[in-house]
Amino acid sequence: MTAIASAILAEEAQIDAVAGKAAAAARLLRHAARDFAPAAFSNSLSAEDMVVTDLIVQGGVDIALFTLDTGRLPAETYELLAEAEKRYGRRIQVFTPRHDLLEALVARDGINGFYGSVEARKACCQVRKVEPLGRALAGKKAWVTGLRAEQAVSRGGLKPLVHDETYDLVKVNPLADWTERDIWLYIRVNRLPYNKLHDRNYPSIGCAPCTRAVAPGEDLRAGRWWWESPESKECGLHVVDGRLQRLEAT
């Protein structure tokens, strides 16, 4: 067998494997929509979240779609939001920070105060992301995410289905066991739109001031809050620790 033929067979096997993972993820999403309604998907417009969006919309799964606009996202992220809405023919509900909380934060810490300390950065995330998320999840019984265990050391124990005590609902992570290669193979095969910053070495994209490109070999989230240690690189949206009780899908 030639090297080219071997490569083709390997690629086909990988495509089949991702198709199997996609089918399992779709089953989990249908389970969430059926048994934990109402369910909502927090779409950060990451590569992972474009996969989950596709699985929900193309599968006709009754799960609401929303995103958080912090007010400091890169232009490319807003462009992707518009492109996704056009592709799927539906609006993705946008939640923004409360103006009073945001004005108070900036008055106290300054426009870029989040660089000063972990506490100041988390205070910014609280106002721009966590508080809006609480409003978005109000009344929901299930919260769907695009989290993957491979993304960061703080997410190593991620399970597909858990109970989140912070919001007292079921947290659904259909891509928990997906690899970076799985994500991009699904995107390529299905020709999904994605954030063009990914082509400029931004594997993980958040607010513009808090995100940079990564160097070859760096951790996938090394560009997020790069001035902090890896252990502190969570914004408060996702708590992955002993407070999350694993559930079993049926």
Separation of alpha carbons 145 and 41, rounded Å: 6
Active site residue 235: yes
Q: Which residue is catalytic, options 124, 125, 210, 235?
A: 235
Question: Of 28, 104, 93, 44, which Cα lies nearest the Cα of 64?
Answer: 93
Angle at 24 between CA 23 and CA 26, to 5 degrees: 65
For residue 142, with 0-12 CB atoms within 10 Å meaning exposed, 13-18 middle and 19 or more buried, which class applies? buried
Catalytic positions are 235
